Structure 1
Amino acid sequence: MNRLITTIRTLIRITADEEVILTGLFKPLKLKSGEYFLEEGQLCRYVGFIEEGLVRYHMNDNGNQKTLYFNKEGEFVSNYQSFLPREPSNTSIQAIEDTAMQVINYADLQRLYSNVSEGEKLGRLAIENVFLSSLQQLKSFYKDSPTERYQQFLRSYPSLVQRIPQYHIASYVGIKPQSLSRIRRKLVHKNDRIRFH
C-alpha cells in the first residue's frame, strides 16, 4: 500500500483523512506468474496498481497471442474500454511474474470520486497513463519497422529486458523469436562497429 499512496501523492494532493479513505477502498490481490488479472471476453472489474511484479496485455489474433504492452511496479493496470462502459474485454491482462497489486472495483472508484477532493483527477490521470501506452504501441505497429519497434521497446522498458521472456518481446515487436534474435545480433554488431571506430 505504501507504493500506491506514494504514487497517488505524486499525482494529486491528499489529506490524512483522504489517505485513510483510499486505503479502505483498495484491496490486495496477488497473482502467480501465468495467472490472469483479466481474460478476453470477461468484464474488467478492477483498476489495479502494481506494487510488485509485471503484467502483459495481449489479444488473440486468429489463434496467435499478440502482446500489446506491459505494466510494471508503480503503474496502473486496467482495460478501460471494458471497465468504464461495463462491456466484455477484447484483451487479456496476464501476470508474467508473481505480482502483488492493490485493486479497486467500479463502485468503490465512484466512492473515491465522491470522497476524495481530487479523486476524479486521479482517475483521469490513471486512465490517460494506460491509454497513451496502448495508443503509442498501436501507432508504432503501423509506422515502424520491426527493428525500430524493438529499439522503441528498449527505450520504453530498459529495466525489463531481462525480466520478460524473449517470445513475449518478439510478440510485442510483431515478429517471430528467430527474427528477434537476428535483429538483436545486428544491433550488437552495429554497436560494436561504432565502439571501435
Structure 2
Amino acid sequence: MIDNLVRIIRQTIEVSETECELIAMLFTEKVYKKGSFFLSEGDICKHVGFISRGLVRYYINDEGEDKTYYFSQENEFVCNYESFVPQQPSKQNIQALEDCTMQVISYNDLQTFYKKLKNGDRFGRLVIEQVFIKTLQELNSFYTDPADIRYQKFMAQHPDLQQRIPQYYIASFVGVKPQSLSRIRKKYLLNN
C-alpha cells in the first residue's frame, strides 16, 4: 500500500529510489476500525495520515451537536493542521466512517521527510497550499451558497460518496437538517 502513497507523492515532486526507501521507513501502516478516531477533540494531532482504504469525516462538537465540515477518502491526506503544526490540542474530531487503512507519519518523521527528501519541503508546501485553498472554498461556500447549491457542489466533487456516507452527515456538511436534505435531494434528482 506504500506504493500508492509514493505514486501520489510522485505526482507532485520527483522522488528517487533511495528516497522511496526512506518514505517506506518513515510511514507506518495503521488500521482504524469504523467509528474509531484518528483524532479526538482535546488531543494533539501527532500524525499525518494517507488513506489507502476507507473514509473519514471531520467534525466539531458545537454545544452537543456534531457539525461535519469535511470528508476524506482514498488517496487523500488526513490531518488537523491547526493542531499538528503548533502541536496544540485539537478543537476538531476526525472519525473513521468505514474501516480505514492508512499510512501514517509522525510529526518528527515528517520533519525528517522535509529535510532528507530533495523536494520534501516543496511537497509539504504544495499540500498545505491545496488544503488552505480547499478550506477557503468550503468556508466561502458555506457563507455564500444556499444549501441546495452546496449539495450540488458536494455531489459534483464526490459523486461516489453518496452511498458511503449516512445522509445525516451529508445534511450536517451542507448545513441543514436531514428533513431539508431529503427535499433538496428530491429536487436534485428531478433536475438530473
Query: TM-score normalized by structure 1?
Result: 0.94
Name stretches of at least 5 consecutive residues in structure 1 with no aligned partner.
Answer: 192-197
Pairwise CA distance, 1:185: 1.1
- Give per-residue Cα distances to partners, 1:100-123, cap 9 Å, x unaligned: 000111110111111100001111
| In structure 2, distance between residues paired with 1:128 and 1:93 | 20
Pairwise CA distance, 1:74: 0.5
1:140 aligns with 2:141: yes
Match of 1:170 in 2: 171
Within-5 A mapping of 1:116-155: 116-155=117-156
Rg bigger for which structure? 1
Match of 2:93 in 1: 92
1:188 aligns with 2:189: yes
Name stretches of at least 5 consecutive residues in structure 2 with no aligned partner.
Answer: none
| In structure 2, distance between residues paired with 1:163 and 1:133 | 21
Pairwise CA distance, 1:127: 2.0
Matched residue type, 2:180? S
Matched residue type, 1:72? Q
| In structure 1, distance between residues paired with 2:25 and 2:94 | 25
Match of 1:4 in 2: 5
Q: Given the superposition, is the C-alpha separation of residues 148 and 17 from structure 1 closer, same or farther in structure 2, using an over 3 Å criterion?
A: same
Aligned residue pair count: 191
Matched residue type, 1:124? R
Within-5 A mapping of 1:39-118: 39-118=40-119
Match of 1:194 in 2: none
Pairwise CA distance, 1:128: 2.4
Matched residue type, 1:145? P
* RMSD, aligned α-carbons: 1.0
| In structure 2, distance between residues paired with 1:121 and 1:190 | 43
Query: What is the aligned-residue identity percentage?
Result: 51
Query: TM-score normalized by structure 2?
Result: 0.96
Q: Secondary structure at the match of 1:159?
A: coil
Pairwise CA distance, 1:138: 1.4
Match of 1:21 in 2: 22
- Give per-residue Cα distances to partners, 1:58-108, cap 9 Å, x unaligned: 001111101001111011110111100111111111110111000111110
Pairwise CA distance, 1:167: 0.7
| In structure 1, distance between residues paired with 2:98 and 2:12 | 27
Pairwise CA distance, 1:139: 1.2
- Give per-residue Cα distances to partners, 1:132-174, cap 9 Å, x unaligned: 3222221111101010111111112111111111111001001
